[in-house]
């Protein structure tokens, strides 16, 4: 009896946790199709009809479409740089022992413990001196730099779990170091790459502090990312009473994250499990 109670309690906890996580998302999506009167008078009811004009108003009038495009450009560039250079550094640290490689590895690990807030002031001056303040390329480089420590830490453990016999067989067949990495080892590391890629995507897509500090200057408002745009939307629409437009903008911002997890949740789970083997 005692043995059965533990799984029952764990399942009950997971059900409650799933409801606490899912219900607010469902409520926000349903509210994006309601009128302001329905949201204020009967917030828990279903919408009387699907009001796509709320989404159109948020996309065009509140400039969510422009902010969405800016976020997509920045995150795509930063994620590409992070995964490419992070995978290369992790592969070298995991497969090629050299003098000082432990020092380099622990420097990356130490970067994970360095809070963003401590670097905001010097980071602002560095980006400004490079002439990248208030630009999308500057924000892309900063995102990539802050995502590298976790990427290298995660993928180093993952590359160590891959079989060395495959790499040795490829080298015997005449495969060089670059070919071995891009044609053999990188495809084998796909579960780990997808797993850490999802985490980096979430960090970069939801980032708010770095854009607030770095996206300044003349005309920087047109280059805001989605987190900044949603904050401005919440302030403006809250005073106007356009709550339906606010919920529509929030739903638009959530869609890429939800769709990404639904498409790659199996790869995320397998990547996390494989990365913990060593």
In the predicted model, is pLDDT for residue 140 greater than 90?
yes
pLDDT of residue 148: 93
CA distance 39 to 5: 41
**What's domain 32-275's superfamily in CATH?**
MetI-like (1.10.3720.10)
Ramachandran assignment for 217, one of left (phi > 0), alpha (psi -120 to 50 degrees), beta (any other): left
Span 130-138, average pLDDT: 90
> Strand, coil or helix: what is 254?
helix
CA distance 53 to 56: 5
For the chain, where are the alpha helices, taking DSSP H only? 2-31, 36-41, 52-60, 64-95, 101-112, 120-129, 136-161, 164-172, 177-179, 186-188, 190-205, 209-214, 226-240, 243-275
Confidence grade of residue 173 (pLDDT, cut at 50, 70, 90): confident
pLDDT of residue 81: 95
In the predicted model, is pLDDT for residue 266 greater than 60?
yes
**Please, are residues 34 and 239 in contact by the beta-carbon 8 Å criterion?**
no
Q: What is the mean pLDDT of the chain?
A: 84
> Strand, coil or helix: what is 158?
helix
Q: Which of 143-147, 178-182, 265-269 has the highest mean pLDDT?
A: 143-147
**Please, are residues 112 and 150 in contact by the beta-carbon 8 Å criterion?**
yes
> What are the backbone angles phi and psi of residue 81, rounded to the nearest 5°?
-65, -40
In this predicted structure, which of 45-49, 184-188, 257-261, 264-268 has the lowest mean pLDDT?
A: 264-268
Where are the domains positioned within the chain? Answer: 32-275
Burial per residue of 229-258, b for 16 or more beta-carbon CB atoms within 10 angstroms, e otherwise:
bbebbeeebeeeebbbbbbbbbbbbeebee
Confidence grade of residue 5 (pLDDT, cut at 50, 70, 90): low
Q: Give percent above pLDDT 90 in the chain.
A: 23
Cα torsion angle, 52, 56, 57, 58, sign: positive
Tokens 């397998």, residue located: 270
Q: Which of 104-108, 159-163, 243-247 has the highest mean pLDDT?
A: 104-108
**Residues whose CB is less than 8 angstroms from the CB of residue 187 and which lie 6 or more positions away in sequence, other chains included:** none
pLDDT of residue 150: 92
CA distance 23 to 9: 21
**Please, are residues 250 and 171 in contact by the beta-carbon 8 Å criterion?**
no
CA distance 183 to 171: 12
261 or 18: whose pLDDT is higher? 18
In this predicted structure, which of 94-98, 168-172, 261-265 has the lowest mean pLDDT?
A: 261-265
**Please, are residues 159 and 94 in contact by the beta-carbon 8 Å criterion?**
yes
CA distance 90 to 271: 15
pLDDT of residue 277: 46
Confidence grade of residue 145 (pLDDT, cut at 50, 70, 90): very high
Span 206-211, average pLDDT: 88
Span 233-260, average pLDDT: 80
Tokens 């969510």, residue located: 64
């Amino acid at each position: 009896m005692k043995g059965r109670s533990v799984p029952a309690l764990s399942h009950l906890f997971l059900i409650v946790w799933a409801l606490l996580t899912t219900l607010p998302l469902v409520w926000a999506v349903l509210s994006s199709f309601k009128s302001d009167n329905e949201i204020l008078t009967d917030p828990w009811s279903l919408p009387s009809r699907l009001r796509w004009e709320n989404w159109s108003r948020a996309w065009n009038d509140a400039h969510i479409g422009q902010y969405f495009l800016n976020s997509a450009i920045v995150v795509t560039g930063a994620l590409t740089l992070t995964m490419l250079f992070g995978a290369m550094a992790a592969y070298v640290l995991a497969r090629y022992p050299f003098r000082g490689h432990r020092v380099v590895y622990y420097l990356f690990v130490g970067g994970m413990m360095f809070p963003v807030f401590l670097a905001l002031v010097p980071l602002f001056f560095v980006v400004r001196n490079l002439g990248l303040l208030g630009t999308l390329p500057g924000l892309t480089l900063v995102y990539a730099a802050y995502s590298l420590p976790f990427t290298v830490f995660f993928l180093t453990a993952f590359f160590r779990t891959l079989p060395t016999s495959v790499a040795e067989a490829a080298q015997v067949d005449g495969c060089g170091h670059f070919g071995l990495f891009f044609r053999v080892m990188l495809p084998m590391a796909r579960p780990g790459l997808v797993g850490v890629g999802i985490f980096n995507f979430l960090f970069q897509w939801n980032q708010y502090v770095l854009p607030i500090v770095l996206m300044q200057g003349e005309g920087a408002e047109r280059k805001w990312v989605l987190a900044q745009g949603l904050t401005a939307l919440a302030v403006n629409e809250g005073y106007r009473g356009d709550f339906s437009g606010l919920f529509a903008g929030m739903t638009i911002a959530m869609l890429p994250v939800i769709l990404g997890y639904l498409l790659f949740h199996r790869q995320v789970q397998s990547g996390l499990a494989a990365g913990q083997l060593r």
